[in-house]
């Protein structure tokens, strides 16, 4: 019953007042400025983790915004390098204008990738909704032809992913493997929790067997344990794969992995455009959605007395 309530509440987080979303999602976001992101990476690094820095924002519709985003990424890369912090960047194609002008997006991604390469950093191209999958993978292939420091993301829930990884393997492109966060229709994506886990493990096995460097992105303890069995089965050393986790999520699991000397990279989002990202995090954490809703109801009852 509580789980049913949690699930029902998760569907209503977009009704929460913006200021509440902001307050509760603070643990998922480094802050609004690059200085906040750098401070978080520094802290994570002291705790034995690597980072990947993401400037919040997506689905931009103007031609100006991608230029500002590109400049912000270049600055972030330079500062990470100056401070010798162990982190790269993650970039969303729609933040760099994919929905506005594909060529503008490619050009901006090229410039960020080149800046990252110049400073010995990695650029991961995040994966968004499934109608962007083909264009995003094409961008990654084009970028990787000139910049080996560019990697892709594969969403295990997508039915097309077994085919997509073969293309990436041919080019020896590094993959972040995740379940996939976006709601997709049944003809595009698996809907069943166990089927998604099974698909994830099959993809991981295939990627590792073929020598791909994989970012195993999950907070699902069961999945992390099965993934480790696959890593061991392939006899990999600790520099041949890494775990990836989001800031503020499943920190006990993260600590356990670090203590066991696995490489762990944490996704560090920052910037003023925090709302869409925060909603997704809250929807993924139904208990939080329920406790916020209950505390709001409690407060409303008290005020109305």
Ligand X SMILES: Cc1cc2nc3c(=O)[nH]c(=O)nc-3n(C[C@H](O)[C@H](O)[C@H](O)COP(=O)(O)OP(=O)(O)OC[C@H]3O[C@@H](n4cnc5c(N)ncnc54)[C@H](O)[C@@H]3O)c2cc1C
C-alpha to C-alpha distance for 61 and 48, rounded to whole angstroms: 38
- Candidates 217, 230, 231, 257; binder of ligand X (CB under 6 A) is 217
192 flagged as catalytic: no
C-alpha to C-alpha distance for 28 and 37, rounded to whole angstroms: 12
Residue 278 binds ligand X, judged by CB under 6 A: no
Interface segment toward ligand X; rule CB under 6 A; list 134-142, 162-170, 219-227, 297-305: 219-227
Task: Tell me, residue by residue from 109 to 148, as one string, x for binding to ligand X by CB under 6 A and - for no binding.
Answer: -----------------xx---------------------
- Candidates 130, 244, 278, 290; binder of ligand X (CB under 6 A) is 244
C-alpha to C-alpha distance for 88 and 38, rounded to whole angstroms: 11
Rounded to the nearest 10°, the torsion over CA 168, 172, 176, 182 is -10
Q: Distances in Å between the alpha carbon of 93 and those of 5, 58, 65, 192?
A: 35, 8, 12, 28
Residue 155 binds ligand X, judged by CB under 6 A: yes
176 flagged as catalytic: yes
Q: Does the annotation flag 1 for ligand binding? A: no
CB of 283 to ligand X, least distance (A): 8
CB of 223 to ligand X, least distance (A): 6
Interface segment toward ligand X; rule CB under 6 A; list 8-16, 232-240, 245-253, 271-279: 245-253
Q: Does the annotation flag 219 for ligand binding? A: yes
DSSP letter (8 states) at residue 173: -
Judged by beta carbon, residue 149 or residue 283, the one nearer ligand X is 283
Residue 290 binds ligand X, judged by CB under 6 A: no
Residue 180 binds ligand X, judged by CB under 6 A: yes
Token match 């990436």: residue? 168
Q: Does the annotation flag 92 for ligand binding? A: yes
C-alpha to C-alpha distance for 125 and 115, rounded to whole angstroms: 15
How, if at all, do strands 241-246 and 264-270 pair? parallel
Judged by beta carbon, residue 85 or residue 156, the one nearer ligand X is 156
- 152: tokens are 């892709």
Residue 279 binds ligand X, judged by CB under 6 A: no
Residue 263 binds ligand X, judged by CB under 6 A: no
Judged by beta carbon, residue 181 or residue 201, the one nearer ligand X is 181
C-alpha to C-alpha distance for 69 and 97, rounded to whole angstroms: 10
Q: Nearest Cα to 169, choosing from 190, 146, 188, 144?
A: 144
User: Which residues contact residue 34 at a Cβ distance below 8 angstroms, ignoring those fewer than 6 apart?
Assistant: 72, 75, 76, 79, 270
Q: Does the annotation flag 131 for ligand binding? A: no
Q: Which of 124, 157, 176, 197 is catalytic?
A: 176
SS3 state at 91: strand
Give the Cα-Cα-Cα angle 197, 279, 266 (nearest 5 degrees): 60
Residue 267 binds ligand X, judged by CB under 6 A: yes
Strand (E) or helix (H) holding 230: helix 221-233
Residue 201 binds ligand X, judged by CB under 6 A: no
CB of 96 to ligand X, least distance (A): 14
Q: Interface residues with ligand X (CB under 6 A)?
A: 126-127, 153, 155, 176, 178-182, 217-220, 223, 244-246, 249-250, 267, 281, 284-285
The residues annotated with a catalytic role in the active site are 126, 176
Q: What residue numbers does the annotated binding site cover?
A: 92, 127, 155, 218-219, 280-281
């Amino acid at each position: 019953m509580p789980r049913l309530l949690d699930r029902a509440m998760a569907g209503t987080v977009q009704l929460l007042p913006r200021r509440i979303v902001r307050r509760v999602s603070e643990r998922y976001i480094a802050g609004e400025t690059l200085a906040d992101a750098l401070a978080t990476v520094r802290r994570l690094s002291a705790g034995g983790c690597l980072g990947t820095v993401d400037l919040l924002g997506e689905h931009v519709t103007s031609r100006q915004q991608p230029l500002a985003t590109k400049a912000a990424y270049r600055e972030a890369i330079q500062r990470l390098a100056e401070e010798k912090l162990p982190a790269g960047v993650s970039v969303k194609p729609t933040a760099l204008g994919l929905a506005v002008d594909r060529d503008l997006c490619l050009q901006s991604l090229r410039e960020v990738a080149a800046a990252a390469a110049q400073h010995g950093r990695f650029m991961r191209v995040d994966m968004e909704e499934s109608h962007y999958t083909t264009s995003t993978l094409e961008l990654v292939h084009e970028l990787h032809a000139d910049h080996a420091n560019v990697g892709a993301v594969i969403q295990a829930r997508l039915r097309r992913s077994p085919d997509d990884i073969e293309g990436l393997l041919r080019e020896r492109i590094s993959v972040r493997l995740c379940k996939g966060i976006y709601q997709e229709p049944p003809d595009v994506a698996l809907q069943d929790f166990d089927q998604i886990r099974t698909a994830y493990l099959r993809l991981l096995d295939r990627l590792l067997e073929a020598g791909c460097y994989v970012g195993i992105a999950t907070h699902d303890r069961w999945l992390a344990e099965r993934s480790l069995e696959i890593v061991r089965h392939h006899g990999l050393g600790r520099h041949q794969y890494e775990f990836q986790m989001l800031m503020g999520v499943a920190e006990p699991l993260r600590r356990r992995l670090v203590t066991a000397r696995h490489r762990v990279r944490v996704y560090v989002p920052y910037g003023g455009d925090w709302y869409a990202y925060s909603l997704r995090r809250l929807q993924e954490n139904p208990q939080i959605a329920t406790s916020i809703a209950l505390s709001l109801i409690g407060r409303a009852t008290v005020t109305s007395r």
